């Protein structure tokens, strides 16, 4: 029942972010616990047996690319993540829904700097959105003048990344990134990799598991009560 309840929470979060650009669905890993094996001391292991939630994993499968036509919407075709500067250190995302700040910096919706060449990218004050062109290699030009190249990185093992919020990830201090070979697509966003159908089916199955476990627990309780009454 605990596992089914935890699975429900994970699926609910996936469904809630099904329309969030760059979102990566979470998968719950389940393991078996306990046994009746004899221990080296000769005692019998009487731990509870059954299933337990081991840990969650992030599914980094790519989502579909959606054409928005908006100049500062960026998607990555292939490997790679954008680098975001935050007060808690650099973070990484596939959500390319960017904007211009009042002073011309390329930023996320919450105002965090999008890094290029290791620093904030600033568009000249006299440049219009229509003047901004971003090439597949991440090179950013405004009115024909190059102002920098987006930092596009990846990791040898994406599994070490830790989710921060809905669409950002943090790397452990001892893990370093490397340049990514993906191509930047201007005027597009990458959709969430959550499948509504898959998640809904998993939720229904999970509910059935919970109900079955609940019924089993109820039956065990009734049997115990009967034996207690008989013994007394």
120-163 pLDDT, tens digit per residue, is 999 998 899 999 999 999 999 999 999 999 999 999 999 999 99
The residue extents of the domains of the chain are: 2-61+195-231, 65-190
The tokens describing 12, both together, are: 């609910």
Which class for 100: exposed (0-12), middle (13-18), buried (19 or more C-beta within 10 A)? middle
pTM of the full structure:
0.78
71 contacts 129 by C-beta, under 8 angstroms: yes
* Mean pLDDT computed over every residue of the chain: 86
Which class for 60: exposed (0-12), middle (13-18), buried (19 or more C-beta within 10 A)? middle
Which class for 22: exposed (0-12), middle (13-18), buried (19 or more C-beta within 10 A)? buried
Residue 65 pLDDT > 90: yes
Q: What is the pLDDT of residue 43?
A: 52
Lowest-confidence segment of 26-40, 70-84, 94-108, 160-174 by average pLDDT: 26-40
- Rounded to an integer, what distance in angstroms lies between the CA atom of residue 106 and that of residue 141? 12
- Rounded to an integer, what distance in angstroms lies between the CA atom of residue 151 and that of residue 132? 17
22 contacts 94 by C-beta, under 8 angstroms: yes
What sections of 84-141 are H helices per DSSP? none
Encode 64-83: b = buried (16+ Cβ within 10 Å), e = exposed. eeeebeebbbbbbeebbbbb
Sole residue written with tokens 């599914």? 59
User: How sure is the predictor about 207, in pLDDT bands with cuts at 50, 70 and 90?
Assistant: confident
Sole residue written with tokens 């919450």? 110
Residue 38 pLDDT > 50: no
Sole residue written with tokens 């669905």? 25
């Amino acid at each position: 029942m605990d596992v089914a309840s935890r699975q429900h929470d994970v699926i609910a979060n996936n469904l809630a972010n099904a329309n969030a650009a760059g979102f990566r669905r979470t998968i719950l890993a389940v393991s078996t616990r306990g046994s009746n094996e004899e221990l080296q001391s000769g005692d019998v292991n009487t731990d509870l047996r059954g299933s337990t939630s081991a840990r969650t994993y992030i599914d980094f499968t790519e989502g579909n690319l959606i054409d928005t036509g908006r100049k500062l919407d960026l998607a990555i075709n292939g490997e790679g993540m954008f680098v975001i500067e935050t007060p808690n250190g650099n973070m990484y995302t596939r959500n390319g829904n960017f904007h211009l700040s009042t002073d011309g910096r390329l930023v996320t919706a919450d105002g965090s700097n999008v890094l290029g060449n290791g620093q904030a990218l600033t568009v000249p004050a006299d440049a219009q959105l229509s003047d901004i062109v971003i090439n597949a290699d991440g090179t950013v030009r405004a009115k024909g003048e190059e102002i920098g190249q987006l930092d596009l990185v990846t990791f040898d093992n994406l599994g070490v990344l830790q989710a921060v919020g809905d669409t950002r990830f943090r790397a452990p201090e001892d893990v370093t990134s490397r340049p990514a070979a993906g191509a930047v697509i201007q005027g597009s966003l990458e959709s969430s990799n959550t499948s509504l159908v898959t998640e809904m089916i998993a939720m229904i199955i999970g509910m059935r598991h919970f109900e079955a476990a609940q019924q089993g627990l109820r039956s065990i309780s009734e049997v115990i009560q009967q034996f207690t009454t008989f013994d007394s």
